[in-house]
Amino acid sequence: MLNANHAALRDSFATQQYNFIFVEIELGLTFCQAARTTGRKEVKQQNIKNAKTALATALKTITRGNISDQEAGILKPHMDRLKAEIADLDGGPSRHGNRQ
């Protein structure tokens, strides 16, 4: 019984991590959109910084988490899109580069 409960909790935790990573990526993309639409330079820079923080959090969670290869494959195109958006807004390659 304990092993079954432990496995269920582990699976639930892995699902929560996957969902958290996905939300962080979406949050980063939202900050990128906000950076694109503002006319104020300081607000744009803060939104870019926030997008980078969301990316860094997602990357850290992926490397420390229990994400399956299949889940990582699903997340990769979204992560790549966020990296590209940040690089485009920042005028060059993202500081986070190819880390994953």
pLDDT in tens, 11-24: 888 889 999 999 99
User: In the prediction, which pLDDT does 71 show?
Assistant: 92
Place of tokens 């330079």: 41
Give CA–CA dist 71/50, Å, rounded: 24
User: In the prediction, which pLDDT does 94 show?
Assistant: 47
Q: Considering only CA atoms, which of 45, 44, 32 is closest in space to residue 86?
A: 32
pLDDT classification of 7: cutoffs 50, 70, 90? confident
Which one-letter DSSP state was computed for residue 93? S
pLDDT in tens, 53-85: 999 999 999 888 778 889 999 999 999 999 999
Apex 87 CA angle, 56 and 48, nearest 5: 60
User: What does the pLDDT average to over 39-58?
Assistant: 97
- pLDDT above 70 (res 25): yes
